[in-house]
């Protein structure tokens, strides 16, 4: 019997491929069953949502963490690596990177705005004070 995932020839009667661990095709049906409880399509969809919402900050971060968990769960359960699961895994990382990047950006931006107002406000008070003391 030949593993449909990696092409290794496995002994007949083996349930899992000795090389990649993929579940081997059922001899009666010839159908390869994916052992993971989550489908590769679901992994991909979570990745797409994570990457799309990455720039939204906190929501993107939460969705990306869920997407990473789904992707890892798929691998841990011996899910067969395919295009969809790979895309899901890569996009969940993209989402994670984007959301963390944007959160850092906005935090620095807000701190800079507050600092600008604080310094600006202080400067204005100084100017008004010296102006007042000049007049009076
Ligand atoms: Zn294999």
Q: Give pLDDT tens digits for 61-76.
A: 999 999 999 999 999 9
Tell me the CA–centroid distance for residue 9 and ligand 1, in Å.
8
Q: Which residues contact 19 (CB under 8 A, 6 or more apart)?
A: 3, 6, 8
Tell me the CA–centroid distance for residue 5 and ligand 1, in Å.
5
Alpha helices in 1-136 (DSSP H): 40-52, 58-76, 83-135
Q: Give pLDDT tens digits for 104-118.
A: 999 999 999 999 888
Q: Give pLDDT tens digits for 118-128.
A: 887 766 666 66
Which pLDDT value is given to residue 13? 73
Q: Which of 76, 88, 86 is nearest to 37 (CA)?
A: 76
Flag whether pLDDT at 136 surpasses 70: no
Q: Which of 133, 22, 129 is nearest to 74 (CA)?
A: 22
How much is the average pLDDT of 77-94?
94
Which pLDDT value is given to residue 125? 65
Which pLDDT value is given to residue 44? 96
Tell me the CA–centroid distance for residue 83 and ligand 1, in Å.
16
| Separation of first and last alpha carbons in the chain | 100
Integer Cα distance of 14 and 11 in angstroms: 6
Tell me the CA–centroid distance for residue 13 and ligand 1, in Å.
14
Tell me the CA–centroid distance for residue 114 and ligand 1, in Å.
58
Flag whether pLDDT at 133 surpasses 90: no
Integer Cα distance of 39 and 58 in angstroms: 26
Which pLDDT value is given to residue 89? 96
The answer to whether 68 and 93 have CB atoms below 8 angstroms apart is yes
Joined tokens for residue 19: 């090389």
Tell me the CA–centroid distance for residue 17 and ligand 1, in Å.
5
Tell me the CA–centroid distance for residue 131 and ligand 1, in Å.
82
Flag whether pLDDT at 27 surpasses 80: no
**Ion ligand 1: residues, CB < 5 A:** 3, 5-6, 8, 17, 19-20, 22
Question: What is the radius of gyration, based on Cα positions, of the chain?
Answer: 28
């Amino acid at each position: 019997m030949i593993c449909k995932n990696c092409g290794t020839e496995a002994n007949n009667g083996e349930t899992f491929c000795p090389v990649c661990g993929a579940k081997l095709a059922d001899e009666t049906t010839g159908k390869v069953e994916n052992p993971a409880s989550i489908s590769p399509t679901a992994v991909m969809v979570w990745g797409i949502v994570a990457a799309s919402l990455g720039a939204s900050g906190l929501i993107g971060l939460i969705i990306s963490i869920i997407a990473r968990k789904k992707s890892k769960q798929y691998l841990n359960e011996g899910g067969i690596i395919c295009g969809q699961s790979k895309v899901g895994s890569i996009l969940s990382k993209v989402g994670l990177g984007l959301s963390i990047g944007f959160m850092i950006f906005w935090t620095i931006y807000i701190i800079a705005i507050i600092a600008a107002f604080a310094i600006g406000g202080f400067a204005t008070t100084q100017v008004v004070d010296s102006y007042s003391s000049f007049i009076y």
